Structure 1
Amino acid sequence: MATHDERSYLDEADEVYVRARWRNQFSNMAKLPLHLQAKIDSRKSVLERYGEGSRGHGESSGSRAVVKLEKDSGNKLIRQVYSGDRVENSVLGRQERLIVQKPSWHAPWTVTRVINGHVGWVRCVEVEPVDNEWFATGSDDTTVKIWDLASGKLKLTLSGHVMAVRDLAISERHPYMFSASEDKTVKCWDLEKNMAIRNYHGHLSGVHTVAVHPTLDLVVSAGRDSVIKLWDIRTRLPVMNLVGHKGPINKIRCLPVDPQVVSCATDATVRTWDITAAKCVKILTHHKRSVRDLALHPSEFSMVSACTDDIRSWKLPEGLLLTNFESTNTGIINTLSVNHDDVLFAGGDDGTLSFYDYKSGHKYQSLRTKQVPGSLESERGILCGSFDRTGLRLITGETDKSIKIWKQDPQATPTTHPGLPWNPMLASQRF
């Protein structure tokens, strides 16, 4: 039996853990979006603004809308919007707020550099996460190439796979890069020796995706055999198998907190996994077709997934639907990426680049990529894409075997480039 002092220490430790989890997962929800807060502040008098500054953000009695985090009877954190003396928790209240909300303006994107070097389709791209100085690409030509991000020059070519390289993952904690290939293997590359030092064998078919756990020494891979495998980095032994998908797995992502693994597959589902219990926690069945990619938001606890003509964002860890994006005519979407400025990029199989405001779901820019000279028009397709760590550059890999780097137009203003019109009454803005 634990003594009274031991129980009190355990209760204090549990309380510290719960507070830390709440702060990490819900701190971004503790205040209104900037554009809504600016609109509310513009309606206040000078005295009210001064009083709010002295009492703290979001606590003024003159404020028309205040967001507060409270605990309900089940000791769960809830988000309530106070409007005067009323509390708006209803579905109709949320719809009204979505309609009133206007998307933030973002500058349009233009291509600044075209890089050639691969002799096959560029299947994957990954930016170095520590110094943001280089990026790696994998191709159907079985090679992995390292490029300088500033100049676009080729630094290194890594050969070792015997079939197409489908995905790459670069570790933040180790000098390692992992590659997944259709030759059924995952390779670990030592970036200090520029050579493959480990092979992970165990998949029964081609490996489509690989990810590195941000806090544990685990590599997660999945592919055509519909099984997610967790590997110990050092021993190369499979630690765990996660079984549940009914079709080939297209993409997996790892998180430092639960759910620590998220996956999407051709069975039109997105699944979140508890690796402690080795089981599926949540199955999201909202999509109707193969879910080809999913991306994590870099600063808030949410993710976005895409299938043909359908892009949706989800709140984690519950897996609640946040936004339906304007994506009814986007076609087959191969890749997604989100930056810190709440810009969502979606790359299509027909070469269409779509840019969205992440918060509202508004598509503000859509353009078609141009194939390199000597390529057919049918080879105009985007297979992969990723923002760099600053979010100021977008790198895409395409079916014309080229790599393109995109940047926002520095001369653009809301007056000169207003973007596509915003219509909050569209059917796609359901929730």
Structure 2
Amino acid sequence: MGLRLEKRFDTPVSPPLPPPRAAATSPENRPGTDGADQLGSAGASGGRGEEAVSISSARSGAFTGVVMATAAAATGESVEPQSLKKLSLKSLKRSHDLFAPTHSLLFSPDPESKQVRVSCKVNAEYRAVKNLPTDQGRVQTKGAAVPMTTLALPGTQDNKDADNKRNSTAIVPSPNMLPKAPDSTIPGKNTTVSIPGSSDRFSTSALMERIPSRWPRPVWHAPWKNYRVISGHLGWVRSIAFDPSNEWFCTGSADRTIKIWDLASGTLKLTLTGHIEQIRGLAVSQRHTYLFSAGDDKQVKCWDLEQNKVIRSYHGHLSGVYCLALHPTIDILLTGGRDSVCRVWDIRTKAHVSALTGHDNTVCSVFARPTDPQVVTGSHDSTIKFWDLVAGRTMCTLTHHKKSVRAMALHPKEKSFASASADNIKKFSLPKGEFLHNMLSQQKTIINSMAVNEDGVLATGGDNGSLWFWDWKSGHNFQQDQTIVQPGSLESEACIYALSYDNSGSRLVTCEADKTIKMWKEDLTATPETHPINFKPPKDIRRY
């Protein structure tokens, strides 16, 4: 083959070679066609037969272009270099010429394949009910026509013979009691009908009670409305705590101040300064006149409200402190921060009692209980840990969440708590931490804070300014509200950083990014007739 090409290329080429596009469109005038024909005939003699003759026009054009380029190189003529864009367009055109003619041709479906697909679907989804007896074909015993009212699971022949001698026990009651069927008996049959072709899986699922029928109906709650907006801070309001006497509440802000407000009138009573970074956590003691604060400056401070000054500082955190909580029965303080540790402090001696280590990321939420587990923490590592306070070890780790657990709320009466992350809001039981259920809607935002009152109203504040209210028992979302930024603020500042109910549970206070504090209460004019419950039980309950 090589000798034959060499002999062809030695002949002078006259006139000059046409451009490749013209050569591709007119294959009769291309030089080198004789060599291609000789190659085709040689391939046919080697056993390829008619395959070389039936080569497509696009492939013969490409082969001829290669022969032309080789011929130009053999004769010493210079080949004009082509750009990458031009070569790409040529390749694109050749592909278009190859596949464009058959692009619109649709192959007709195979009827046999369609029949197999339909048959598989019928057997998989309707196998248990497709062969049920009709009203006219109800089965009776020989000599005694008894109307069929029961269905039984398929059994052995011995069980069927034994059932002929006694009345069969109803396993699944018939949905409708039909009249007596005509006198038509089938010998050798039982008084009960077994579902033909049904496996144990279908029969067992048919006997199980459907979970949605047991889903509790939500309790009616009045909608909440905003009745007061308080301004005074010069930065984001990040934390809030209420006085045990329910007379005042305090807020911590990014302006590094703690402000105390009158709960009834909303007027400013006192401003405390001492932190050098934003204040992320506040707590008021129920047995002492102490206020505890924590911030991004790694400091945890104890304020004496009789003297309005700092009397103790708790040092030990290696980074910012994000949350804190007081134990309800003993004098200890719990703080969690960016160093992934929950630290336990003695509030009387400012001694560091222990460090609860185990989280892999920031500890951003914590609460304490009188009984075990006495400490529960949530972290950015998407886990919730129960702690044994005496041993300083983890009792249990909950891994149900997929994203950061930024907020948790303990129910004031029930032994349960809720946790919130960007994926969902989940409810767990105490003390074992068993998962109960998800809330029936998704807020679809980062939930920074949540709180629940004794009436079972759960409030959650989102990073996009959304304030949702839920029924605690059923998980039904009965109100969706959106905070409104104050004039002069950006729309992106519609964010709720903290919220909490007062001690009576009748007022809700939210701390927001537009430097305001908003107060909410129930609409007393609302009734179940004016605001009905729009509730639909879920078809399936996600047990994870």
TM-score (norm 1): 0.76
Q: 2:477 aligns with which of 330, 339, 363?
A: 363
* Alignment pair present for 1:117 and 2:232: yes
CA contact (8 A) 1:309 1:327 kept: no
Give the AA of the match of 1:425. Answer: P
Count residues in correspondence: 338
Alpha-carbon distance change, 94 to 172 in structure 1, aligned in 2, over 3 angstroms: farther
TM-score (norm 2): 0.61
SS at match of 1:178: strand
CA contact (8 A) 1:326 1:429 kept: no
* Alignment pair present for 1:274 and 2:388: yes
Alpha-carbon distance change, 127 to 93 in structure 1, aligned in 2, over 3 angstroms: farther
Please state which structure has a larger fraction of its residues in helix: 2
Task: Give the share of equivalent positions with the same residue, in percent.
Answer: 52
* Alignment pair present for 1:102 and 2:102: no
Q: 2:450 aligns with which of 336, 339, 342?
A: 336
Q: Which residue of 2 aligns with 1:318?
A: 432
Q: Which residue of 2 aligns with 1:287?
A: 401
Give the AA of the match of 2:337. Answer: G
Q: Which residue of 1 aligns with 2:121?
A: none
In structure 1, C-alpha distance between the alignment counterparts of 2:489 and 2:248, rounded to whole Å: 27
In structure 1, C-alpha distance between the alignment counterparts of 2:481 and 2:410, rounded to whole Å: 24
Question: What is the CA distance between 1:426 and its match in structure 2?
Answer: 4.8
Q: Which residue of 1 aligns with 2:118?
A: none
Alpha-carbon distance change, 416 to 165 in structure 1, aligned in 2, over 3 angstroms: same
Q: Which residue of 2 aligns with 1:191?
A: 305
CA contact (8 A) 1:98 1:360 kept: no
Question: What is the CA distance between 1:277 and its match in structure 2?
Answer: 1.1
Give the AA of the match of 2:453. Answer: N
Question: What is the CA distance between 1:94 and its match in structure 2?
Answer: 8.4
Please state which structure has a larger fraction of its residues in strand: 1
In structure 1, C-alpha distance between the alignment counterparts of 2:209 and 2:305, rounded to whole Å: 53
Q: Deviations over 1:86-118 (max 9, x none)?
A: xxxxx965825533x210000001000000010
In structure 2, C-alpha distance between the alignment counterparts of 1:406 and 1:98, rounded to whole Å: 33
Question: What is the CA distance between 1:159 and its match in structure 2?
Answer: 0.4
> Would you identify which runs of 4 or more consecutive aligned residues in structure 1 move more than 6 Å?
none
Q: Deviations over 1:326-368 (max 9, x none)?
A: 2324311111100010000010100001100000000000011
Give the AA of the match of 1:393. Answer: R
Give the AA of the match of 2:233. Answer: H
Q: Which residue of 1 aligns with 2:370?
A: 256
Q: Which residue of 2 aligns with 1:347?
A: 461
Please say which of residues 226-235 and 392-401 is displaced more in the overlay.
Answer: 226-235
Alpha-carbon distance change, 98 to 349 in structure 1, aligned in 2, over 3 angstroms: farther
In structure 1, C-alpha distance between the alignment counterparts of 2:368 and 2:455, rounded to whole Å: 22
Q: Which residue of 2 aligns with 1:423?
A: 536
Larger RCO: Structure 1 or Structure 2 (Cα < 8 Å, ≥ 6 residues apart)?
1
Q: Deviations over 1:10-50 (max 9, x none)?
A: xxxxxxxxxxxxxxxxxxxxxxxxxxxxxxxxxxxxxxxxx
Q: Deviations over 1:109-146 (max 9, x none)?
A: 100000001011000111112x1111110011111110
Alpha-carbon distance change, 184 to 174 in structure 1, aligned in 2, over 3 angstroms: same
Q: Deviations over 1:138-189 (max 9, x none)?
A: 0111111100000000010010000000010111111111001100010001
In structure 2, C-alpha distance between the alignment counterparts of 1:113 and 1:276, rounded to whole Å: 44
Q: Which residue of 2 aligns with 1:385?
A: 499
CA contact (8 A) 1:295 1:336 kept: yes
Q: Which residue of 1 aligns with 2:7?
A: none
Alpha-carbon distance change, 257 to 153 in structure 1, aligned in 2, over 3 angstroms: same
Gaps of 5+ in 2: 1-206
SS at match of 2:499: strand
Alpha-carbon distance change, 220 to 93 in structure 1, aligned in 2, over 3 angstroms: farther
